[in-house]
Every structure is written in C-alpha cells, then in structure tokens.
Structure 1
C-alpha cells in the first residue's frame, strides 16, 4: 500500500493494526517503508529503508515513530537513497565503536533470546570484549580478530569458549552489514581460523548395556540413597528432562498428565512435557511427601529453593558411577531406546527430549505448529514401561 502519508494517517493505521491484530506494512510516496509490528505490548512503528540490491537482510532501520517525526525520517531516507545511487555506503557513520554496535545488536536479541542466553552474552562481553569497546568496528577484520582474540585464547588453552565468541562476533558483524556499515560481513569466514570444535559427550550406557546396567543402577540407589534422591533419579528417566528443567517443576503448575515449560530449544512456543502413568504416580507421591509448605518446588532444596543441581551427579559419583553416567546422559539413554523401537519415528524420539531441530530447518518449523503430543505420549509411555521393568521391586510409589 503506497500513499503520501501524514502523521495522522500513521496513527489511524496503527489503530487499524491493533484492531486486526496482525503485522502490516505501509509505503510512503518517497518509497520509504513503515513496518507496523503487532505484539503483546501493542504496535510499534518503524521507518525502514528497503535495499533492493541486497539479497538478504535488505531492510535498514531509520528510526521509530513517534520518537522520530515523519519529516525527519523522510529526510534520512532520501539521504540514504542518494548514497546508494552514488555507490556510497547507505549509512554514513562518523565512527561506530564496538560498544555502540554491541548495544544495538544486543537490543535486537533481547526481544527473542531467552534471559539465560542474554546473561551469557553479557558475561562474554565483560570478559572478552569490553577492552575493545572504544575501537572503530572498521578495525575488526580476520587478521585483527585472530591476533587479538583467537591466538591469545588458544595460547591460554581456552579454546572451549572460542566457538561461542566466534558465533557472537559473526552475528554482530552480520548485523553491522545489515545496517549498511559494511558491504559484506568482514568476519564471514571466521570459522576457518577457529580451532577444531570438540563435542562434549556425556558419560552414559551403550544400548547393548541398558537391560543389564539399568536394573543394577536402580538396585544401587535403592540400597544406598534417600527416597527423595531415588525419586529424582526415577523421574529423570520417566521424563527425560534436562537437569534444571526437572528441578524447576513447581507443584502449582503441574497438570494431571503434562507440564508446560520453556525449554532450552523451545523459547517462543509452549512445549508440553508428557507424563506417563508412572511419572504421574511418582509426582503424586512427591506431593504427598512434600515437607515445606512455603517451598513451591516439587524437589525441595534449602530455604524454599529448588534442589541443588549437583544432587544426582554427586550421588552417581558416590555410588561408583563416576565416568560411567551423569544425569544428562540419561536423556541419551532414553533417546537411543525410543529410536530403536521400529514403530516410533526418529523425529518423535528427538522431540521426546525436547529437540526442536527434529522438525527440520527454521522454514520447516514454521509449518509444524504442533508438538506431536499424542505421538510423544505413546512413545514416553512405552519408554516408562521399560524403565519400570528395570526398577522392578525397587518401585516405592
């Protein structure tokens, strides 16, 4: 929709978007685009320059309405258009510091990234990037990053963090390219100078060991561990949740046969965790034996907090499983067992442990709005039946 806009027309269209509850575009007579984004907190209006010559990331933000008035936005748009026609950078900054780019980049990610991811980004900035905050971003080419970041950390044998740092830098400078600061990402090939990434494998049992080792594991805990620790171990197996996800279960939020939570990979949609009949019975036992009425967590820790993240791993080490099994390895056991069942698709097995990548790439995921709950429920019940057979006489709920 193209029109000679006025600020009153923008306000009227904003109300229309709020009423229809859907994101829309308007195009000014100058060619400038206005992006009306509908969200839970209302409608935001952004002036955009559409770079028709770019194959991707072709929308450059000019400003937001009403913080920037229409006349100023048009003036900036015409200047950007003139720069493009003369073969100059669309955006002409004096000096863009690393700190300025970081702040702008992080502001865009705060809307989509989980709080724990933002916290990790800020930690990396303080430790590895803050010393560069006043540097001109034009200084950041492959040679500079290699000599200033990659080589020093490699010499200190801190290579495990380098891939996280590299990923952040790549995304930052891709964003800088999108803003028109660079004609291309200067760190496009950053992966080529990073050390080989070593994948961390969590100690776990092999598939041909499941039927022998799992009964021994449950026997060992039944003979030595407290009932609450045994319950923690059993529910790990029944649900295949991550350490933090399981310990964060709150009694008030539990449903009869599922629990909705934000997982590590499902941040923008609700993911329902399936509870087998065994899991439901164990949860009921835990609620019946809950001690502190002021503690909201299913697994109680000290001072109304959740149980410690080290509880199960410490007990595994204590009872002879050091280097053989950690709590995260339980998820791998479940995935391998479920995948081996001929009637269950591999995709369902991966979804049982909350891996969204099972749905394919980002484009594929857009069309897979469901979480295959019924199929996962069937798979998790079959898995829980096997786990229960391994627990045997040690079942106390």
Structure 2
C-alpha cells in the first residue's frame, strides 16, 4: 500500500492538480476521515476508503476518478462508514457481491487460463462444448442462479440427440469446473454431483482390433480408391505404423521431423486420464521416412505435415475419419475407429513376443504402481528395432503388385 506522504485535497480542482510521480502515492480528503485517492505513475486516480474492522485495517476500492466524482465518493464513503459502525465489513460485502455478479462465461475464461492451459496444449474440444452446449444455457448466469435443472438440461440435450459419450464428457467438464469454483469461493457445492455419471453413460471397454487379413484388405482397398487424397491414405497408414493418436498425427509439423536422426518429436501428446502430458519421440523406420518424404512433396508449402484447406492450418478433426470410413465400407471390413489401430498394433506386437514395456513406451502410456516409480527406462534401442520390424511386417502384409506406392517403397529399400 502506498504511504501517506502528506498530500491532501478538498476540491475537484485540487484533485486535478495531483500529478503522477515515479511511484504511486495517496492523498487524503481534508473533510472525510478515511477517504483517499491513489495516484498511479500512469496518471490514473482511484478512490479508496481505509477503515478499521475488528482491530484490523481494511481497504475498500471505490472506483476511478473522474468516473466517480468527489461528491459521489464522499457519499459512498459515508454509506460504507455506516456499515462499519454496524459491525459489517464493507470489503467482505463487496467480495460477496462480486461473486454473485460473475457470470459462468467469464468464470469459464478464467478456468481455462488458470487451470486447463497449465497442463494441456489445446482447449479446442473443451471450448467447443462450452460455446455450443454450456454457455447458451448458463453462460450469462451467476453461480447463485444456476440450478440442477440447468445442468440436467445441458447433459440430457446431448443424450436426447443420441450422443451419450459426449453428454458424459460435458458432465465431466462441468463437474471439474464446479470443483474449481468451490476452491475460488464462487460456488458452495458441486451441483453436477447430483447427476451421477453412471446414469449419463457407462463406457464399455473397447477391444476391437484388426486381424492381419483385415489389415491387408482395408489398406489395399484404401490405396486403390482414386477419390481419396493420397495424403489421407498415407496418414491412415502412418497411424498404424507410428502407433500415434489421431490428434498427435494431424497436428504434427515438419519442424518436429528430424531426417538426420530419424526421429519424430511429439511435443504435446494427448493428455492421459490424469490430465498430464509427456513429450515423446517416435523412432522412424525406413518405410515411415519414405512416407514422410512423399508427404513433404505434397505439402511442402505448409508447416503442417497434413495441411488443411489453408496451408497455415492442419486438416480438420474428421478428415481422416471420413477417408477411413469410406475405405472401410468399400472393403466390407467390420467397423473400427482410427484409435483401434493403436490397439491393433499393440495386440500384434505382443503376440509376436516383443517386450511389453517397449510397446507401452511406443504407445506413450504412463506406467502405474511400483514400476512407475522404479522403471525410468526409455528403451530407445529396443524401440528403434521394434518399429522397423513392425513396419516390415505391415508392408509385407499389405504389399500388392498393383499398388504403385508400395512398389516405390520396395524399390527404395532394395536400392
């Protein structure tokens, strides 16, 4: 708090005459005990009221001058002094009023800045839920105005659309936001807990993985489809070869590829179940390098390996999904998701006898229990060998004489 250096005022003209100094200072009102104006180095002037409450000095910010005139500041000071005389803290009352006035939309901006961005590289999906589903219902309400019915309507709207997993995700986001709001003193309890997660959606563990024959049929069909862009075909192949998540693949930039060291850095992998992220390195096989060099020819003008409609942005979230679904239908392969390719790779590699810890490292899965504490190995050499053998296996499985790309890769390796 700036010191009282003997400056004072009694009229608006005397306030106007107070000049900014290198350090902020305060001037006191000659007529009203406890009313001050703080003059900042920027020249701005702010009204303050200092008083003693329960034996301790408190300070209440009234507002800026000249937005609040001397006459109005004195009136507010008198009203505030009467509260103190009644044993009420004006500062605590102001804080209570502020809490009741902050809207959920404004709080959401704080939550992303103060909590989410500390652990996550992107908030795109979260902001999509906020802007499309949550803010239209409670964005302009204060916490004191939000009811269980508001929360239920947000969640059940998605359930009524047949999007139970999304409803479950939105419920989780709302619950985390309310928990932090309690920490900040904005909410007294978590309304979302009244709606149990198991009644919204009970996730079924996925066990879908492709058989070797399905891998061959799907990818040979995919590469024979002329209406699917070559970069998308190669992206779906890299998804199987690299064991990366789709978002990690589509957000990758050329600056992350080191052709001299044969590595692919993933600086911001998708967070695990605890919201934590750990950068990882993919060790590139000969086939992966050939694919990336082919993609470099296609997308050389973009910083992204998979360029979107505009070169400065990556392909959209659903682009590879669309290509995958078209090929899946034409190949008449049982439904699977791009994420199931990770499970496919893990399953086959485990069946082939590779070290489970090495496989988990390539998947960037976090170890648990005692092993997480004591096993810090990165298995770099083992991962390099495994990724090359995995690529050899996949190419030997997919290879078709009439698929030009595979012929080129085969000839490159032979040379």
Structure-1-length-normalised TM-score: 0.61
Say if 2:269 and 2:278, in contact at 8 Å, map to a contact too. no
Instruction: Note the C-alpha offset of 1:334.
Output: 0.6
Query: Aligned partners of 1:158, 1:231: CA distance in 2, in Å?
Result: 30
Say if 2:221 and 2:327, in contact at 8 Å, map to a contact too. no
Q: Corresponding residue for 2:87?
A: none
Q: Corresponding residue for 2:348?
A: 337
Q: Corresponding residue for 1:20?
A: none
Q: Corresponding residue for 1:237?
A: 240
- Aligned-residue RMSD, C-alpha: 4.6
What does the per-residue CA deviation read over 1:131-179, in whole Å, with 9 as the maximum and x for residues that have no partner? 3234342354656633x43455544545333212211221122112212
Instruction: Note the C-alpha offset of 1:301.
Output: 6.2
Matched position secondary structure for 1:272: strand
Quickly say closer, same or farther: Cα 1:160–1:213, change in 2 above 3 A: closer
Q: Corresponding residue for 1:145?
A: 151
Q: Corresponding residue for 1:278?
A: 287
Q: Corresponding residue for 1:258?
A: 263
Query: Aligned partners of 2:240, 2:164: CA distance in 1, in Å?
Result: 33
Instruction: Note the C-alpha offset of 1:255.
Output: 0.9
Q: Corresponding residue for 1:108?
A: 114
Say if 1:238 and 1:383, in contact at 8 Å, map to a contact too. yes
Query: Aligned partners of 1:353, 1:272: CA distance in 2, in Å?
Result: 10
Instruction: Note the C-alpha offset of 1:310.
Output: 4.9
Q: Corresponding residue for 1:377?
A: 384
Say if 1:170 and 1:190, in contact at 8 Å, map to a contact too. no
1:360 to 350, 368, 378: 368
Question: Which of the pair has more CA radius of gyration?
Answer: 2
2:179 to 141, 159, 174: 174
Query: Aligned partners of 2:150, 2:310: CA distance in 1, in Å?
Result: 49
Q: Corresponding residue for 2:398?
A: 391
Say if 1:166 and 1:191, in contact at 8 Å, map to a contact too. no
Query: Aligned partners of 1:303, 1:108: CA distance in 2, in Å?
Result: 31
Structure 2 residue runs without a partner (length 5+): 3-49, 60-91, 410-415
Say if 1:316 and 1:326, in contact at 8 Å, map to a contact too. no
Instruction: Note the C-alpha offset of 1:253.
Output: 3.5
What does the per-residue CA deviation read over 1:236-273, in whole Å, with 9 as the maximum and x for residues that have no partner? 32212233433444444411321112222277543212
2:301 paired with 1:309: no
What does the per-residue CA deviation read over 1:280-306, in whole Å, with 9 as the maximum and x for residues that have no partner? 24334554xx15653444456666465
What does the per-residue CA deviation read over 1:188-236, in whole Å, with 9 as the maximum and x for residues that have no partner? 454357423345859642xxx32x3333344444555586565444333
Query: Aligned partners of 1:124, 1:108: CA distance in 2, in Å?
Result: 16
Query: Aligned partners of 1:165, 1:296: CA distance in 2, in Å?
Result: 33
Say if 2:265 and 2:280, in contact at 8 Å, map to a contact too. yes
Say if 1:274 and 1:376, in contact at 8 Å, map to a contact too. yes
Query: Aligned partners of 1:163, 1:97: CA distance in 2, in Å?
Result: 26
Q: Corresponding residue for 2:301?
A: 294
Query: Aligned partners of 1:190, 1:364: CA distance in 2, in Å?
Result: 36
Query: Aligned partners of 2:335, 2:131: CA distance in 1, in Å?
Result: 36
Quickly say closer, same or farther: Cα 1:196–1:343, change in 2 above 3 A: same
Please give the residue correspondences for 1:209-220 in structure 2 after superposition, counting only pairs within 5 Å: 209-210=211-212, 212-220=213-221
Quickly say closer, same or farther: Cα 1:326–1:193, change in 2 above 3 A: closer
Query: Aligned partners of 2:225, 2:158: CA distance in 1, in Å?
Result: 44
Say if 1:204 and 1:324, in contact at 8 Å, map to a contact too. no
Query: Aligned partners of 1:300, 1:270: CA distance in 2, in Å?
Result: 22
Structure 1 residue runs without a partner (length 5+): 1-5, 8-70, 77-88
Query: Aligned partners of 1:378, 1:90: CA distance in 2, in Å?
Result: 66
Q: Corresponding residue for 1:41?
A: none
Query: Aligned partners of 2:221, 2:197: CA distance in 1, in Å?
Result: 48
Query: Aligned partners of 1:382, 1:233: CA distance in 2, in Å?
Result: 19
Q: Corresponding residue for 1:351?
A: 361
Query: Aligned partners of 1:365, 1:340: CA distance in 2, in Å?
Result: 24
Quickly say closer, same or farther: Cα 1:74–1:364, change in 2 above 3 A: farther
Quickly say closer, same or farther: Cα 1:340–1:176, change in 2 above 3 A: same
Q: Corresponding residue for 2:249?
A: 246
Matched position secondary structure for 1:319: helix
